[in-house]
Amino acid sequence: MEMKNIRNFCIIAHIDHGKSTLADRLLELTNTLDRREMENQVLDDMSLEREKGITIKSHAIQMQYKGYTLNLIDTPGHVDFSYEVSRSIASCEGALLVVDASQGVQAQTIANLYHAIDHNLEIIPILNKIDMDSAQPEVVADEIVDLLGCSHDDIFKISARTGEGVAPILDAIIDRIPAPQGDPSAPLQALIFDSVFNPFRGVIAYFKVLNGTLRKGQKVRFMATGEDYDAEEVGLLRMKLVPTEGVGCGDVGYAICGIKSAKEVKVGDTITSSADPASQAIAGFEEVKPMVFAGMYPVQADKFEELRTVLEKFQLNDASFVYEPESSLALGSGFRCGFLGLLHLEIVQERLFREFDMDVITTVPNVSYKVFTSQHEVLDVHNPSGLPAPTLIDHIEEPYIRAQIISKAEFFGPVMKLCIDKRGTLVSQNYITADRVELNYDMPLSEIVFDFYDKLKSISKGYASFDYHLTDYRPARLVKLDILLNGEPADALSTLIHEDNAYTFGRKMCEKLKDLIPRQQFDIPVQAAIGAKIIARETVKQVRKDVTAKCYGGDVTRKRKLLEKQKEGKKRMRQIGKVQVPQSAFMAVLKLD
């Protein structure tokens, strides 16, 4: 296929604006799939994506239309999967920007659009769901015109569900999106934008060729690791992998090189020829910055190595997930994992269980802090147990984000109150239309980690949208809150928290744990402590056997003697008793309300 007949494009939008449905219609119109193979969200091949109705992974597929090759990459819309979007955008020359006619322009729409403009992508605006009763096509079209500076005639008004107005988009892709630029005779340079692990074939790398041609049987070099391999099979990404003799300049394809170790393939790496290597690697993607950290431990201690292997393979499929080994007094050996947000953490945990049959214990999520010591050192602390002694700490800085919230004007008050409660400071507010307001807040990342997104959705009846990016670190009055069970600190439950919130949070934690920890043969005190100071306490009552049941009548001292004997036994039991904390207790901390 000649380069001038290739078009590479992605679909970007806010969550639930109809990206996957539009992709379905494009596949139907280009006859990429038979009618019997067709189903809703056909590119979302994970059962988890179908259940939740969201796209988690970007999916690449090739279509043929009027003699042109169209390479589509469908992207996720949730803020937690923005890294997937950034990788898709780096592999394309154009983007379809989809906006819901009933919801209008939302925070993630704007964030993804700016990303695409930074990469000089050609934008084709599309107004979806015009068949809905609540649609306001004229109002939302004005928003798109204000956002992009285009004319009303440039906007395609469609219903991806019924297929109305979708056909002209294919012609617009050919006419408006430029062909890829590159030199077919130059040394091979191919950018890896995704990879998956196949237990029989090893690592399958998905790439876009920027210069040269990648041929079957060619000896290739991965520039980040410097390792050489034979390209055993190369081909194109249709609904299934289609082997070919080579993938030409500007095209998107896959390569199987018999790589068995997941560490040897890095997303953003450059593939070049071993015989005639390129002088430099392609400037890859931005480095991923995890926002939320949590410990992951195997349920059975002897499965540590198995968990390491599983995480290695999983990281191939999800490049925004990072991990490193750590150990905990309560839970043994495990891994400190970095995620882009709480939904990402939940999805990773669920996928590990479904795809690898790996059950893990996850500790309380927290963010990364900078600790300045009195010896003028700066430590990055991801875990409260890694905090130096209070006497050695000069001050602690916590990460701040710039949050962008777009909401209906009627919810303006409750949204502002929520942000102020979360220690946010208003930076700016402006009305996009008469009844839609955009609020920009600076707030600590630790405050939005737990339940901010859920609360925002509930107070705005689902209308408010939210996007954020990390700005800087600022000094904060933070304390380490320990949870003591039977006098022993449970390090997996300890958190770093703002001084003003410590008492309330500690009290709620104790109340929640009292309900969740199973009753034992002895009283279990559940305490929240800052240093040596206990700030809250609850008691899990013991299960008692009625030792006086056999005493009917007679002197009361007989009963007292039996009770005293039982009391001594309980006291001894408490000294050697171990408290088992169920997994639900770790997750319940996220839903303290």
Bridge partners of residue 482, in order along the sequence: 529
Is the per-residue pLDDT at 169 higher than 60? yes
Which pair of tokens denotes residue 283?
A: 């400037």
Which residues, 6+ apart, have CB-to-CB distance to 529 below 8 Å? 481, 482, 483, 484, 489, 506, 535
pTM for the structure as a whole: 0.67
Whether the predicted pLDDT of 462 surpasses 80: no
Structure token pair of residue 586 = 């770790």
> What 8-state DSSP symbol labels residue 579?
P
Residue 543 pLDDT: 80
pLDDT at 352 over 80: yes
Report whether 192 contacts 186 (CB < 8 A): no
Tell me what the pLDDT averaged over the chain comes to: 79
Q: CA-CA distance, 96 to 169, in Å (whole number)? A: 9
Per the listing, tokens 């905990």 go with 328
Whether residue 7 is predicted with pLDDT greater than 80 in this model: the reply is: yes
Contact 405, 107 (CB under 8 A): yes
- CA–CA distance, 161 with 23 (Å, rounded to integer): 11
Cα–Cα distances in Å, from 231 out to 137, 193, 317?
Answer: 50, 17, 20
pLDDT tens digits, one per residue of 49-78: 555 556 555 667 888 888 888 888 767 656
Report residue 404's pLDDT band, with 50, 70 and 90 as the boundaries: confident
Average pLDDT of span 263-275 = 79
Q: One-letter amino acid identity for 259?
A: I
Q: Of 362, 268, 392, 265, whose CA–CA distance to 584 is shortest?
A: 362
* pLDDT at site 120: 84
Q: What per-residue confidence (pLDDT) applies to 58?
A: 60
Count of C-beta atoms within a 10 Å radius of residue 310: 18
In whole angstroms, what separates CA 368 from the centre of its chain? Answer: 16
Closest CA to 385 of 432, 331, 343: 331
Of residues 104, 142, 145, 141, the one with CA closest to residue 436? 104
Q: Which among 168, 191, 190, 2 has a CA at the least distance from the CA of 96?
A: 168
Is the pLDDT reported for residue 442 higher than 80?
yes
For 134-148, 201-215, 454-468, 525-539, which range has the lowest pLDDT when averaged over its residues? 454-468
**CA–CA gap between residue 481 and residue 530 (Å, rounded):** 5
Helical H segments across 280-411, by residue range: 304-317, 342-356
Give 92's contacts (C-beta < 8 A, 6+ positions apart). 8, 9, 10, 71, 73, 119, 121
Lowest mean pLDDT among 49-58, 79-88, 380-389: 49-58
Q: Which residue has the higher pLDDT, 341 or 330?
A: 341
The DSSP annotation for 61-93 comes to EEEEETTEEEEEEE---SGGGHHHHHHHHHT-S
DSSP code per residue over 255-274? EE-----GGG--TT-EEEES
Q: What is the average per-residue pLDDT within 145-170? A: 83
Q: Would you state the pLDDT for residue 528?
A: 92
With 60 as the cut, is the pLDDT of residue 285 above it? no
Q: Is the pLDDT of residue 590 over 60?
A: no
Res 53: pLDDT: 56
Task: Report the pLDDT averaged over residues 208-217.
Answer: 85
> pLDDT tens-digit profile of 179-198?
888 788 888 888 887 777 77
Q: Is the pLDDT of residue 44 over 70?
A: no
Greater model confidence, 58 or 171: 171
Which of 283-297, 418-432, 452-466 ranks highest by mean pLDDT? 418-432
For the cut 70, the answer to whether the pLDDT of residue 567 exceeds it is yes
Phi and psi, residue 493, nearest 5°: -105, -5
In the 8-state DSSP scheme, what is residue 424? -
One-letter amino acid at 444 equals P
pLDDT for residue 201: 83
The CA-CA-CA angle for residues 73, 77, 82, to 5°, reads 85
Band (pLDDT 50/70/90 cuts) for residue 325 is confident
For 374-392, what is the mean pLDDT?
Answer: 81
> Is the per-residue pLDDT at 342 higher than 70?
yes
| Bigger pLDDT: 16 vs 338 | 338
The answer to whether 403 and 424 have CB atoms below 8 angstroms apart is: yes
More confident position, 120 or 545: 120
Which range among 266-270, 398-402, 551-555 has the greatest average pLDDT?
398-402
Dist CA 140 CA 125 (whole Å): 11
How far is residue 260's CA from residue 269's CA, in Å, rounded to a whole number?
17
Say if strands 94-100 and 59-65 run parallel, antiparallel, or are unpaired: unpaired
Alpha helices (H) in 412-498, listed in sequence order = 412-421, 445-449, 452-459
Q: How far is CA 48 from CA 57, 161, 294, in A?
A: 11, 21, 22
Containing 294, the helix (H) or strand (E) segment is strand 292-298
- Residue range 213-232: average pLDDT? 83
Average pLDDT, integer, range 139-162? 83
Is residue 363 scored above 80 in pLDDT? Answer: no
Indicate whether 566 pLDDT > 60. yes
* Percent with pLDDT over 70 in the chain: 86
Residue 375, token pair as written in the block: 């010896």
Neighbours of 9 (CB within 10 A): 23
Mean pLDDT of 412-431: 88
Portion of the chain with pLDDT greater than 90, in percent: 1
Amino acid at 520: Q
Q: Which residues contact 452 (CB under 8 A, 6 or more apart)?
A: 418, 422, 466
**Contacts for 460 with CB less than 8 Å, ≥ 6 apart:** 407, 408, 411, 414, 415
